[in-house]
Structure 1
Amino acid sequence: MNVWLIPSSLSTTPTALSTPHHHLHLPIIPTKLSLHNTLLATTLSFGFFLSPFPSSASVLQPTPLPIPLSTSSETCRDVELRNITVPTAPEVVTNEGLVQEAWQIVDDDFLDTGRNRWSQDTWQLKKNDILSNTIQTRSKAHNIIKRMLASLGDPYTRFLSPEEFSKMARYDMTGIGINLREVTDENGDHRLKVLGLILDGPAHSAGVRQGDEILAVNDTEVKGKSAFEVSSLLQGPNGTSVTIQLKHGNCGPVESIEVQRQFVARTPVFYRMEQTESDAAQIGYIRLKELNALVRKDLVIAMKRLQDMGASYFVLDLRDNLGGLVQAGIEIAKLFLNEGDTVIYTAGRDPQFQQAVVSDTSPLIRAPLVVLVNDKTASASEIVASALHDNCRAVLVGKRTYGKGLIQSVFELQDGSGVVITVGKYVTPKHKDINGNGIEPDFQKLPAWDDVSQHLSKCSMLQQG
């Protein structure tokens, strides 16, 4: 069984899933990863900003490595591959075994965030009832799993047919047809490896192979950077090229490869300078349409340009932003937070989902900030809004946010189908549950900037005790 962790966004609602969407198209990660590591390695938002490659070239799977020329290189390559788990072909499984596998996933990891009062005792009774009779066909087994998951009363927990699950394996957040994974070596150092390749995609055609270590992108060393940050460096306009320095295997050689990008990376950041009517204050207005792999880089550029133009206050517009990459939301929040500030908490039955994400950098700006929100500000956007609000860095203006703060994991079953299970939820720095509640703004209409400064100052004093 393979499992992927996915940050939940508004687009995971049953209606939106009529087309395979949500943060998926992931590389297969064949073990249960911690939230932190998974977000860094493969933080994804499905269907928001990527155009899949043609179907003939879009199956994301390991590519056979070149046959080594010597015993020493073979040994080196074998050592290297111990750090990369290769997805295997589906095993033969009985219909009853398939249903039991799906049942067990729920029993181990499902987090009931509704009012159904789910319990393992009642879930055990359901299994006994379901498996009391022989299941004759695979189609019937799939239907049983669908009904079993539907009985949980969670709109985000659902079954994926083999066809739907296969489409999820086409995700590429780099634009060159690779997925990256952070691997810790024996010295405790983090290295970035190519986890999966799109066969005949740009990187594969240029000579990149599974297990290769990424050393630099366009002469920028990637040591110490997350998979998310490096994926952002790899992205760019369709038809442009990116130069990757990589090491084949554990022992080299090191090679620089030029790869042509094959999808259009659209910036989600729009900005302009405005001036208030009452005084000469310069306002830097920034709108984020979505949170994708480009958003942090482009937001930094926008803020620096607005500062150079004389902006003394900033407005961050998150209205109608349905979310996207959770890691992008976390990185955006860190741009405004002090080192040590809590960005978000996660909660779940499994200890790996009981985490605190903390800012590890100093803020890019310290100017007063207004964040515009409405009832379509959701998921990762709510993480940004709550982090800035609860840490007294921003005043929220507008309407109560949507209230989507769940975490789902996608598990592959042995016949190539899959299940999406709610396994955790997000809690704000002030320990408020986002899901189903949303975030209440401080003002419905934009206040005077003096009022903004006073509100933030009062918030800071109360927070410090």
Structure 2
Amino acid sequence: MHSSTKSNLLVASCYAGILALGMVVGPKFGRESDAAKTGDFTPFSASPEKIDQVLGIIEENYVDPVKADTLQNLAINQILSHLDPHSSYLPPVKAREQSQDLEGKYYGIGVEYTVLNDTMLITSVKTGPAEKAGIKAGDKITAIEGKNITGAQISSEKIVPLIKGRAGTVVNLRVKGRETNREKDVLVKRDKITVSSIDAAYMLTPTVGYVKISKFGARTDDDFALEVNRLQQENMKSLVVDLRHNGGGYLSAATALADEFLPDKQLIVYTQGEHEPRTDYFATKSGKFEQGKLVLLIDETTASASEVVAGAIQDLDRGIVIGRRSFGKGLVQEQFNFGDGSALNLTIARYYTPLGRSIQRPYKMKPKDYFDEASKRLEKPEVNPVRVKDSVSDKRNSYKTGLGRTLYGGGGITPDIFIPVDTSAFNSFYYALRARGLLTEFLFSRLVNGYHPTSLKQIINEFNLSDAQYRQLIALALKKGIKTTGRTVEIARAAINTEIKALLAKVYFDQESYFKVLNASDKAIARSLQELKQP
């Protein structure tokens, strides 16, 4: 870590404590300056001892109950709000969850779940302790170690500390069975759970492979190399890498993946910041797929480390990028850990593609507006951004590839081939059902127990929501306050049917089956296969 960065972090930490005091005892111990009125703060003292003293006085003498940690957190978040949208403070639970997610392992029981109707609903069971104990997707957990976990106050923050723990320890779950609807106590011995960042890897055609990557964690490159070796043994000649809905992760994992496609000594990306000198990342000669045809799929949720890979592939003319304009996050965060388990993710540098493009979108607006911008593109589907003047087609930020193609910087990765949102199927009704978890609720309450497929092929070829089932789903939506019209409901039916079919495939088979169902009617996949047929 650069010494200047650490020094700045210490100053920021001091300011955090000072801000906390200023909010509570400012009138007594300090005065507001003209700068403070515009968002800056002039501290009355930078003494850590005095800060601790005053926090102690507040805790022991303040008129109302108050927690010093809460004041400190408020102050830290206030400071970070004046930096960029991606610098953030993580409380201990969030910091631990993020670390485990990217490391690809944790100690627990091996389930995926959602909180639905104030109840913990198991949506998927991995190979591991929960499966051995007989827990199935669709079961509900109503209590953990005798502690009730149902009701309006239940949340992941409360569930995670109860369900995770040291390997070998036993957790007592009260399980309400999907099929019996009866409760029983189940003892599950916790163990190490390994989570791959590869969601699916299979052959789309006899010669075209497909790999879906959900995030860039510590194991991503190793997992990818294993899957590519397997697919090459199945005669894979061309490859589609799906980075849609991949919000990023470790920069080192992204450069390692890009290295799999690029020849020795090619520049993948470089980073640079006020206190961080330029650092270049180069490919090596150990790539597993440096020769075959390559397609990358991206969309508005493709961000950060994913954009590093897409930018390198595009700048170096290594493959074709298909989809919609990526999120536009070109900032690098470093995590600073505190003794209480919390952490500060601080932006320390920007990254630049091999041609020197910065992908970062402007962020001078409110944070909510910044993060909502990508999703709002779906409300008013953008035309092909190559043909309009916006942040990604500004001629002042244009670059030429080795093959003479023009690329732009400053607003995400613009795909080589644009695939607009299919508004003939995906509309407000569809998105509302997904956002509220109603497709999952309907699946487990109305479909799972009455349907018993024997193969994935049966689900793909035979399952369709009946008219009666679709009316039941509409009734559920109305009950939950979702506004509908006859036209929006009818337009969304095909997309909803496909999503339900994919969810069924995941419940009865595995996560890869979920993507096999979705990809069968995916226009970006179809266009990818079309492009890979070209000489």
- The TM-score bracket by the shorter chain reads 0.3 to 0.5
- Structure number having the greater helix percentage: 2
RCO higher in 1 or 2 (8 Å CA, sep ≥ 6)?
1
Q: Report the TM-score, using the length of structure 1 for normalisation.
A: 0.47
